[in-house]
Amino acid sequence: MKFPILPLCLIASAVLAGCGKTEAPVAAPQEPVAAPAAAPAPVALPELKVAIDPTYEPFTFKTSDGKPTGFDVDIAEALCAEIKRQCVYVEQVWDSMIPGLQAKKYDVIISSMSITEERQKVVDFTDKYYNTP
């Protein structure tokens, strides 16, 4: 019986090639990379002292746990977010609102204050954000 030599040699070569050791290519050494700097600690926002009279529900009142809430507080929080400040609420009785602002006890009054000629003589107002007929 005659064996074909060429096909047997090809098969033997393929088997031997599969048994050979393959080495992974050696990568060139790289320069050490510095670790990324840690993110800076969050900076505390500057305060905006907001005068409120928490007795005028639904505009400004306190929750059962004593936290100020209401329409005016929502406006104050939106303002603080816009100007990147931390709202700090200063509770005031109504009659001392403007004198306290003049004495710099707080930065703003956000407490449903109507615009009158008398008040405009001593404090600045924004545009109205609420109007009652």
Residue 55 has pLDDT above 80, yes or no: yes
Residue 75 has pLDDT above 50, yes or no: yes
Instruction: Name 90's bridge partners.
Output: 51
Q: pTM (2 decimals)?
A: 0.65
Instruction: Read off the amino acid at residue 100.
Output: G
Query: What are 31-54's pLDDT values in tens digits?
Result: 766 666 666 666 678 999 999 999
pLDDT at 84: 95
pLDDT at 2: 57
Query: What are 88-129's pLDDT values in tens digits?
Result: 999 999 999 999 999 999 999 999 899 999 999 999 999 988
Please name each of the domains of the chain with its CATH number: 47-120 (3.40.190.10)
Residue 109 near residue 75, CB atoms below 8 Å: no
Whole-angstrom CA distances from 32 to 24, 25, 29, 35, 91 are 22, 20, 9, 9, 58
